[in-house]
Structure 1
């Protein structure tokens, strides 16, 4: 059973003030952009709130108006990263469905190019993502996006084959998401060549998994 984020943890990690005006939104964007740049520069070292404020050109007090701690900033970055995947997958549903296996293979390749870019450009956020996955109190945050992604994968498969049963499409969606994510995390911990080779392997596994269900020539 999925558990909800407990109230104490949610309060401790939620942004203190939601930006309601354009000016406030720009300040939050500056904070998050600065944090993302620093995580990319510092690798495994977590940037301090002071460093984030300095990079954003703000006082520490201004940062604390919006975020209670650096963990909340990194968590918001992770949310933004997770929220980028549904849009990328949804693009595949908006185009005409492929009529043969080669066309479907090209669609899969386009998806891998788009999603790989998200992983490679945000590799330094992966420890935050893994921490969310391994923390029972934080896991509900990722579950929200996982459910969206699984549903979109299922919808994409049914877009290709409208006769595909919903339960089967959802089951395949779970495998597509879980295998793709775990394998990419392994690749990111190695080197770029290993990452690319693992990507190719995952793509091959995906095609072998779903092709029998798609009724394509």
Structure 2
């Protein structure tokens, strides 16, 4: 408790005001409210005995004002919330218990629920790829001894037999060159490749 000495009041009035300030400050502190309380002796221009001391509660925050209002209305104090206050261990345990109860209730509600997945089967047909972006048909000779292959000769997928035979002869020309470099390689294989694709059909 402090005393603002703007003007000297009678000693008995000052002493009584100081006692009231001390009692009020102690009562508020016991309820968890910190409020500055002091005796205001009034302006110096007021003559005695009119200049009786008053109790000034000072400036306070909005939270403190609300807490003081709660004390006056209900007789119990409500602590002002702190911006950086951390929950206590008891509060954390209570939150955990509430969360665990909700999780348990959720899983119990799922009991008896059958999760089913439905699959459908579709027929596909393997057909020659006639799309514009399909790969070309090729023919090439491969050495069975060493596995080396000659260059692939391209041809149209629907090429007539005359063109196919011409492509085979062109591919066979590599055998002679390969034989000149590998005198012991006598076995070869003709490999023809044609593009195919899967065509989706109806669902079953």
Q: TM-score, normalised by structure 1?
A: 0.22
- Whose strand fraction is larger, Structure 1's or Structure 2's? 2
- Whose helix fraction is larger, Structure 1's or Structure 2's? 1
Identify which of structures 1 and 2 has the higher relative contact order when contacts are C-alpha pairs closer than 8 Å and 6+ apart.
Answer: 1
Q: TM-score, normalised by structure 2?
A: 0.23
Larger radius of gyration: 2
